[in-house]
């Protein structure tokens, strides 16, 4: 019996709660079945107690591990759901900022955004000079590079009086180089714009803006 106590102490050091449960269950089992399957008669009392204790302990340990596994999966599932809710909340905040921004844009600017959506953000070439309220002027959402240059000659007519008449003399000016720029939306802004249109079928607070598509 002393050896059994020593064995139980080893289990208590590492698996306290499962061991307590196993001891209680072993006592109950041995009291109910003092010689189950005649194992006690065929071996000896000590080995019988050890066998019963080990079987009960393994059963209890399996239940504990199964319980921990289930709890762990539930916690991961809850954490994933909470994270998803957090992501959706943050996306909604960003979308609100996007929609408020697009609400204030002019019709040509909204048409330009839909043009980028239709072409999957294919760069647009232009030599125009844009005003400060244009999205093409906004470096926060637009990426700009110089694609090429157009060479143009400028002629300015002037007049000179002769014999009470006017003579128009064209004066040649130096060649002017006009840059042609490529414009495309920043990747982060375009991704948000595409997500908004794909999920909510709009890029502003007003679905009427879809008429500019």
SS3 145: strand
pLDDT tens-digit series, residues 19-56: 787 878 878 777 777 766 566 666 677 777 777 888 88
In a domain, residue 81? The reply is: no
Percentage of the chain modeled with pLDDT above 70: 76
Predicted local distance difference test score (pLDDT) of residue 163: 47
In a domain, residue 93? The reply is: no
Average pLDDT of the chain to the nearest whole number: 80
pLDDT band for 96, please (50, 70, 90 cuts). Answer: very high
- Whole-number Å distance between alpha carbons of 138 and 88: 27
- Average pLDDT on 94-120 reads 92
Cα distances from 28 to residues 22, 49, 58, in angstroms, run: 10, 12, 16
SS3 120: coil
Does one domain contain both 23 and 70?
yes
Does one domain contain both 125 and 172?
yes
Predicted local distance difference test score (pLDDT) of residue 151: 64
- Whole-number Å distance between alpha carbons of 111 and 210: 9
Does one domain contain both 57 and 121?
no
Instruction: State the DSSP H helix or E strand holding residue 112, giving kind and residue range, or none if neither.
Output: helix 107-118
In a domain, residue 96? The reply is: no
Q: Which domain holds residue 124?
A: 104-212
Does one domain contain both 128 and 44?
no
What's the domain count of the chain? Answer: 2
Predicted local distance difference test score (pLDDT) of residue 56: 84
Tokens of 183: 């414009």
Contacts of 73 by beta carbon, 8 Å cutoff, 6+ apart: none
Does one domain contain both 56 and 130?
no
């Amino acid at each position: 019996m002393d050896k059994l106590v020593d064995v139980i102490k080893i289990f208590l050091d590492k698996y306290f709660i499962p061991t307590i449960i196993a001891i209680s269950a072993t006592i109950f089992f041995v009291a109910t079945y003092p010689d189950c399957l005649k194992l006690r008669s065929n071996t000896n009392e000590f080995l019988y107690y050890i066998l019963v204790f080990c079987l009960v302990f393994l059963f209890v340990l399996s239940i504990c591990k199964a319980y921990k596994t289930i709890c762990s999966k539930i916690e991961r599932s809850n954490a994933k759901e909470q994270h998803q809710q957090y992501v959706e909340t943050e996306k909604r905040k960003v979308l609100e900022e996007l929609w408020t921004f697009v609400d204030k844009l002019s019709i040509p600017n909204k048409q330009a955004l839909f043009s980028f959506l239709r072409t999957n953000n294919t760069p647009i070439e232009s030599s125009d000079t844009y005003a400060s309220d244009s999205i093409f002027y906004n470096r926060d959402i637009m990426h700009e590079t110089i694609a090429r240059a157009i060479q143009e000659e400028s002629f300015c007519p002037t007049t000179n009086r002769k014999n009470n008449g006017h003579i128009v003399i064209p004066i040649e000016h130096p060649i002017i180089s006009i840059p042609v720029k490529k414009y495309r939306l920043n990747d982060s802004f375009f991704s948000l714009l595409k997500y908004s249109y794909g999920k909510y079928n709009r890029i502003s607070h007003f679905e009427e803006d879809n008429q500019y598509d």
